[in-house]
Structure formats: C-alpha cells, structure tokens
Structure 1
C-alpha cells in the first residue's frame, strides 16, 4: 500500500507533560504527494483523537478516505498526525493527567496546522480546505481557527468543519470568544455529529474531565449561524463507528 499523505508533528511535544521539544511547524509525508495537491479543487484533512500513535493516525485517515469515497467524495483526503498517544492514556488512574497533557498538545498544534493551511493556500489559493476532527481532534481544529483568526487575510480560509464525538465544550459555538472567530474563519459551515450514547464522552463528563462535551448533547445557548448539528447513533466512541453513521459529505 502506498503511504497516505499526512502532515506530521510527531515528536514535537513531550508525551508525559506536553512541553514543546521541536519548534518547527510541521513535516510532510510523502512530500511529492503534497506537490501534486497544488491546484486541486479541494482537499479534506482528517485529525484524529487521543491515544493514537502514528499507525493509529494512518488508520484514521484510511477510514475517513474509504467512507468519503463511498459517499461519492472524489477529492484527496490527507491526515494530520500529532503526539496524542500521551503517557498513561490507557490506564484509568492516569486518564485525567493523560487527557490534560493531550489537550495541551492539541492546543499547541493549532499553530502547526494553521501554519500548514496558510502555507498551502499561498501555493494553491483556489483549493478549498475542509477539516474533519474526531474527539480531541476537535480541540486541534478550534486552536487552529484561533491561530488563523489573528490575521485579517485568513477570513474564510477554511471551507468547512466536521466534528465527530467532539471533546471541546458545548458552549463553544455560542460563546463570544470562539463563536465570532469560527464564524469568521470558516467560510461555509460547521457540522457537529453528536451522540448522547457516546460512552467515552459520558464518562469524561461524569468524571468532570470535560465539562459538557459538544459531542455528547450538542450545543447550548444560541450558536452562530454557520453551526449545524446532527444527532447520530454510533456503536461506540471510536472514529470507525462515527464514520459508519456518516450519511453525507460534504
């Protein structure tokens, strides 16, 4: 199988505390595949969640690519692979600390993915960029939008955003702080696929690790006009389960 194109920041952050190890923005694999994307009509970037090593990230890109093909999407699907396999994430007793380190790393990656989007748009200004985020990937997307919002020329730079089992909080789409920048940076729409049956988000909410995850019961308050939500019933929290119930794209 030929390698799936991905933007990577693996090894840039310390998996035990989230500290920055490398200052550079990102690496591209394979580089030649990204050169081929210049001038494309559009691309979709898949951003995985917590507890994914490099192989896990590649698996998520493949799931997204295969599902979107089935739904008739013909454009390139690439991945964003970051340090989310934080130390102790698989052990209950370390879960809170591992999640908090993961959130720190996800926030820091906003600058990395944001820089890629800016760079790619310079070389390929007409290409539409769509972002798909699962679980902690929603935090990477939110931080990316925050980073992009710092410059006026980035208005509408991201075509659309699709969230699955999002771990960011339910007040984000209606908050003054984030609502405004999401409305500004995302050109067309944000679609949140939420599932009240998601056992991982329900657990994180009950344990107060995440206060009201957006992916559990949807948004509260009065969300921005570009925000839409879909109630879905995946088997469990895994991205494969959310992909299986995805009925249309884009």
Structure 2
C-alpha cells in the first residue's frame, strides 16, 4: 500500500480539496479487525498538541486507502484504551455486533490518546472532536456523492463525538453531514445536548442523535464519574432538558446491570442502534 501525503492528495483533488485536514496514510497491520483513523501521539499527557489540530492518519480507511464506501460508521473508543489490543477489541466489537444487528455499512475505528489522566484526557477528547469533524468533511469531499456517515462513541468517546457539532458550526456546515450519532455510556455532563454552543451544529449537521441510558451504570455514578465531576452523566441520567429537536434518549437499563464495558453495551444495544439508524426521520423534529 502506498503512502499518501496531503500534498499528493490535494494535487489529485484540485482546489476544492483546500479544506482537507493533514491526512496521511500508513500501512495497516494484518491483525487489525477494521480500518481505523489514528490520532495517537498527537498529544502528550500534559495536554500539549504535538501535531496540527486538524491532522490524523488513516489505515485501511475507505476513500483514503481504497475504494469509497457509501455507508460508513466511525466508532470512537473510551478512556484508557491505550494500546493496540484495547483499541482492536473495541473496534472488533463494534463491527461484529452491528453486523449481527443487521448493519450492512462499513465500520472503522477512531484511535486516540485516551490514556492520560482524567482531566487531560477530557481536553484531548475535545480536540479529537475537531479532528473527527475535519475527517468527516474530508471523507464526504473525497467520496463526492453524498455518502451516509454515522458516528458512535462510548464513555469518554462520547465527548469526542459531541464536540463534532461545535466544530461543524464553526466551519459553517449547515447540511446533514452525519446521518446519525449513537451514544452508549456517555461520560459527559448531561446538559451537553442542551448547550447553546452545541445546539446549532446538532440541529443543522446531524439527522438524529440517540443517547442510550443505563441508570445502573456504576462507573457513571458515584463510584467514578459523579465523584470526579460532581455532575450527572449523560449516559446514566439522560439529557437534562431533553436535548435538541433531533435528540432522543433511550432508557435501556433493564437490558443489563451495572456494567460499563463497551462490549456489554453494544451486545445489548446493537439491535436498537441499527433500528435507530433507519428511522432517523421519525426523531428529527427540527
């Protein structure tokens, strides 16, 4: 597989490609279960940026490294997924269980510097939202024919996902860039879907956003998240004020106990998540 630099990519796509992020391509290891975008080692654990804030690397990703996919879901892992094995497991679970639920699109992973301290990892998650927003814009540009893009995040990965609308709004994205966003186990404050800085991007650039709530998730309770944040978690309490006109809370507490592990979430929610993908218009009242 050849290595693609941003300069070669811009030359191939012409002037319209000037909005592209600093994307490069590396060879994919044979044992990765899915393609993935990497921003690993873009930040240190003091929160310093070591690479451009729009940059990322792609590995076996449609449109960048091979033929485009008309339907693409990007899964963002949570906190402390620090090594290849952790990230591979998260991405494999996402792909396997969504496929079992009937999803016929392509699943790729988003591998980021989530293994710092809690406060620094929250900051890095925010900046990864900027990178993910740029990736979605780049993907749609390279595809060129209005592909369906979806985002799923788990735990602190929900912070990455919910930062994307902020940067869409900043970039002036006023069309449906992301068809649906799916948020199991969200480790973010539950007022985020109602926040004035996120509302315009959520309403204008997303078809629908689904939040999967487990009110018995101990990690999101006083055992960890609420003790650290002194705040209610989106994944445990649902949205504070109901969210935007295209936001939907689903209480799935009865499906399992107090486990926060991503595999538990996706194993129990996969059918519902896939169903939600295909009924976006029912939950978009904007």
TM-score normalised by structure 2 residue count: 0.77
Counterpart for residue 95 of structure 1: none
Counterpart for residue 77 of structure 1: 107
What is the DSSP-based 3-state SS (H/G/I as helix, E as strand, rest coil) of the residue aligned with 1:146?
A: helix
- Asked if residue 157 in structure 1 is aligned to residue 177 in structure 2, the reply is yes
What is the DSSP-based 3-state SS (H/G/I as helix, E as strand, rest coil) of the residue aligned with 2:46?
A: coil
More divergent stretch after superposition (147-156 vs 50-59): 147-156
Report if aligned partners of 1:5, 1:33 keep a CA contact under 8 Å in 2.
no
Counterpart for residue 92 of structure 1: none
* 1:74 to partner: Cα distance: 1.1
Deviations 1:161-219 (A, max 9, x none): 00011011111222323223211121x21010011111111023441425111001111
* 1:30 to partner: Cα distance: 2.8
Report if aligned partners of 1:8, 1:80 keep a CA contact under 8 Å in 2.
yes
- Asked if residue 221 in structure 1 is aligned to residue 241 in structure 2, the reply is yes
Counterpart for residue 189 of structure 2: 169
Report if aligned partners of 2:63, 2:142 keep a CA contact under 8 Å in 1.
no
Across the two proteins, how many residue pairs are aligned to each other?
A: 236
Report if aligned partners of 1:167, 1:210 keep a CA contact under 8 Å in 2.
no
Gaps of 5+ in 2: 1-29, 278-286
- Asked if residue 49 in structure 1 is aligned to residue 69 in structure 2, the reply is no
Provide the rounded CA distance (Å) in 1 between the counterparts of 2:62 and 2:244: 39
Report if aligned partners of 1:134, 1:165 keep a CA contact under 8 Å in 2.
yes
Provide the rounded CA distance (Å) in 1 between the counterparts of 2:100 and 2:62: 26
Counterpart for residue 6 of structure 2: none
- Asked if residue 239 in structure 1 is aligned to residue 262 in structure 2, the reply is yes
- Asked if residue 22 in structure 1 is aligned to residue 45 in structure 2, the reply is no
Provide the rounded CA distance (Å) in 1 between the counterparts of 2:109 and 2:88: 7
Structure 1 pair 33–177 and aligned structure 2 pair: CA distance change class (3 A): closer
Provide the rounded CA distance (Å) in 2 between the counterparts of 1:213 and 1:80: 22
Report if aligned partners of 1:168, 1:210 keep a CA contact under 8 Å in 2.
no
Counterpart for residue 198 of structure 1: 217
- Asked if residue 7 in structure 1 is aligned to residue 37 in structure 2, the reply is yes
Provide the rounded CA distance (Å) in 1 between the counterparts of 2:194 and 2:61: 39
Provide the rounded CA distance (Å) in 2 between the counterparts of 1:111 and 1:11: 16
Report if aligned partners of 1:164, 1:242 keep a CA contact under 8 Å in 2.
yes
More divergent stretch after superposition (214-223 vs 4-13): 214-223
1:74-153 matches, cutoff 5 A = 74-86=104-116, 98-125=117-144, 126-153=146-173
Report if aligned partners of 2:212, 2:252 keep a CA contact under 8 Å in 1.
yes
Structure 1 pair 223–33 and aligned structure 2 pair: CA distance change class (3 A): closer
Deviations 1:89-141 (A, max 9, x none): xxxxxxxxx11111010011122111111111111132111000000111101
TM-score normalised by structure 1 residue count: 0.88
Provide the rounded CA distance (Å) in 2 between the counterparts of 1:37 and 1:161: 24
